[in-house]
Chains A and B, each alone.
Chain A
Amino acid sequence: MSRVLDAKGKNLRAVSTQLKEMITADGKEVTVKNAAHLHGLCGGLKSGEITIKGNSGDYLGVLNDGALIRVTGNAGKYVADNMTRGAVLVDGDADYGAGQYCYGGTVVVKGSAGDFTATMNKGATVIIGQDVGNEVGTYMLAGDLVIVGNAGHNLGNYLIRGNIYVGGQWASLGHNIKEETLTEADVDKLQGYLAKYAIEADPRAFHKLAPLSAKPFYK
């Protein structure tokens, strides 16, 4: 049975301290409600299963290092910023810059995500259930980015390593990126992601994007 922490009227320090105590003392499942005014909640947690009831503020799960964080509403800007382990699941939409700078872990947004999603991704799996904005996957250095819907302009600008999978269309591609044929391994991987997070889509209908070169800046 998950315990409830009401964040109404409390500041980040108070909620964060109480949350850490609840995770270490009586078990890892905690539900936090009325937390949309808090930015940087669940920062740097190494364990715990936290459900944010309703919407969250900005920088939710920043530097996450092992916690499982779920948002039942929409997430603010920069959700799961600089995550290294664990997972952040958003049932609604995510604002600007979801899953930036991540070294690992999983970010799943069931709805749409904004501009600059998964920028400088260095190894995380970022899955967006619907559409994304512009400049998504900029300077991505590793990891997978799965976009089930459509993407905006300048997708995957200066992709260095890792792959971007797009289920729909993109408005335009950035530099140093090309389309590749989907392999069986890719289909299996996508099938796994879609099944795991209950997203309905045909894995064979995805387009695969890969970097042109690992060293695009100076010849």
Chain B
Amino acid sequence: MPVVGAFCVTVHKDVCINAQMPGKCATCVEVCPYEVYAINGNGQMAVQNYNACVGCRICAEFCPVNAIRINPAESEYLSRYPWTFAQVEEIHHKALTGGYLLRGFGTMGPMPHFDQIVVVPSQLAAEPPKDKYREECEMEVVIGEDTCEKPIRLQYPVIFPAMSFGAVSREAKLALAIAAAKLGIAGNTGEGGVVEEEPYYSHGYIDKEETEKKWEPGGYLVVQWSTGRWGVSADFVRAGDAVEVKIGQGAKPGMGGHLLGAKVTEEIAAVRGIPVGSDALSPCRYYDVLSFEDLKKQVAFLRDVTNYEKPIWIKLGPSRPYDDVRLAAEAGVDAISLDGICGGTGASPDLVTQGAGIPTIACIPPAVRALKDLGLHRKVKLFALGGIRNGLDAVKALAMGADGVGFGTAAEIAMGCRACMACHKGNCPYGITSQKPELRARLDPEEAGQRVANFIKATVEEIKILTMLSGHSDIKDLSEEDLRAVDLNTAAITGLKLIGYERRMPWWENGHDN
């Protein structure tokens, strides 16, 4: 967790331009939004406040002579556990302020994750491998093919999960829209209303009338219907290509969106309809859904308002995946996003991010089983979100039965984020989660969009490599048989075969009963 004094700031004086020639360079002073560095009357730079450093490394990034090193201060982790440096600082923070810790980003620390799973390549006992360089691999995912007049055709099994305008900057929203257009995949407005350019940028056009296409092949935009209903109107609901009903999210299941006053600028306040500087705390549940029957009615009227053209989506946090997914599917949606505990957030109480919810790998198998029990697997599309970092994680999620994956945090990192975990402060030095004009100016939507598109392209190639070496030429053919768990714990919670043992754990073999 980001605590006071968690980082050591070292400036190599032999190299530093300012140390050699005071007044000649003050790049670190200019770029640091946390005032770690200061400059005195003689133009000499000094580190004035070590404790303010959040570890974002923007100074090291911009230093023209590479004179700065930022290192984590916590080297005594093992010897001091459980009274680690961070834990001690957290208690001091509470003792001094009477408030609990709030922070952005996502879950940290050891957690059952995709790393304890391996992909099984094909040799003699299975279909021979396919040639990645000379053969094709089918990747398209269609949402709402039988139920909607305008289904979504994703070129790759990838979406950008919801990030609200407010939590992230306008520039970051546009970068994601551009990336979605370049890739032919879907972005998401999040719960903070829509940025004016977002719908047509997502489709690949640079004008509102959608006459001039700039980015091929053009993607999609999912609009989010959430508990705070910020900026939601009939026009908003119709502006997207699908509507997502947000029930919860991985970083803080059971809590609503959390936008701190520091980020509520005039622009954000106008979109959300709240006073400038006032916290926007979304309700944790829908005030207009009292029962499951009400949720069904909501899905029905959202279909009606969008003229039965667009898919309806549900986003769930990690709680009771089997029952939750079963109910979501029974509510009549076309796609379900299931977020694991490693999902990101703009701001949340630290202990909720760390301790509430279950890991992504434990969410997918029960969710898939629920859809299979209803006969809806592969019909209602399942997207796995939360801590998916690369093609390897993605292929594992797909083989466990998901139809697609979401890259949220990873997409932000592709834009430039260094994971300093201080999104809630509104001081993002890379301009991604800040609303300050001077910081936002550091993020160019087109450039950042290209970086995100590059990242997803590379990831998709990784997915292709792993799918084809397992002997498949369609991602839908990936199955649990293509994976093995490398430890007992992972085999126990996912139902995958354990390496060496080559069988599933007994309770998975004998008809699993939830």
Please list the residues of chain A having a beta carbon within 8 angstroms of any beta carbon in chain B: 12-13, 16, 39-40, 43-46, 58-59, 62-65, 77-78, 81-82, 84, 96-97, 100-101, 103, 116, 119-120, 122-123, 138-139, 141-142, 160-161, 214-215, 217-218
Contacts and interface: CB of A to CB of B under 8 A. Distances in A.
A116 B287 contact: yes
B94 to A, nearest CB: 15
Contacts of A58: 294, 297
Contact of A63 (B234, B277, B300): B234
B46 to A, nearest CB: 33
B102 to A, nearest CB: 8
Given A39-B301, A123-B273, A46 B234 contact: yes
Contact of B233 (A63, A119, A141, A214): A63
A97 to B, nearest CB: 6
A142 B273 contact: yes
B298 interface: yes
Nearest to B230: A122
A123 B274 CA distance: 10
A97 B288 contact: yes
The DSSP consensus for interface residues of chain B is loop
A59 B290 contact: no
Contacts of A62: 301, 305
A9 to B, nearest CB: 17
B416 interface: no
Given A12-B301, A123-B273, 14 more contacts: A13-B304, A40-B300, A65-B234, A65-B235, A97-B288, A101-B229, A103-B233, A103-B273, A122-B274, A161-B274, A215-B277, A217-B279, A218-B260, A218-B279
Given A43-B304, A44-B237, A82-B232, A59 B274 contact: no
Contact of A82 (B233, B277, B278): B233
B377 interface: no
B455 interface: no
B230 to A, nearest CB: 9
B297 A82 contact: no
B345 to A, nearest CB: 16
Contacts of A101: 229, 232, 287-288
A25 B228 CA distance: 36
A63 B307 CA distance: 13
Chain B residues touching A, range: 20 to 34
A77 B294 contact: yes
B64 interface: no
Contact of A44 (B229, B234, B260, B308): B234
A43 B287 contact: no
Contacts of A45: 234
Nearest to B260: A218
Contact of A120 (B229, B275, B297, B300): B229
Contacts of B279: 215, 217-218
B332 interface: no
The DSSP consensus for interface residues of chain A is loop
Contact of A100 (B238, B281, B287): B287
B234 A97 contact: no
Contact of A40 (B229, B281, B301): B301
A125 to B, nearest CB: 15
Nearest to B273: A122
Interface hub of B277, B288, B290 (most chain A Cβ within 10 A):
B288
17 contacts: A12-B300, A12-B304, A44-B234, A46-B234, A63-B234, A63-B237, A77-B294, A81-B288, A82-B233, A100-B288, A101-B232, A116-B287, A120-B283, A160-B275, A161-B274, A218-B99, A218-B279
Given A84-B233, A103-B233, A142-B273, A40 B304 contact: yes
Contact of A96 (B229, B281, B290): B290
Interface string B376-398: 00000000000000000000000
A16 B274 contact: no
A123 to B, nearest CB: 6
Contacts of B260: 218
B287 A97 contact: yes
Contacts of B43: none
Given A44-B238, A97-B288, A59 B228 contact: no
Contacts of B305: 40, 43-44, 62-63
Contact of A39 (B99, B281, B290, B297): B297
Interface in B271-293: 273-275, 277-279, 281, 283, 287-288, 290
A105 B73 CA distance: 56
A65 B287 contact: no
Given A12-B304, A97-B287, A101-B288, A218 B261 contact: yes
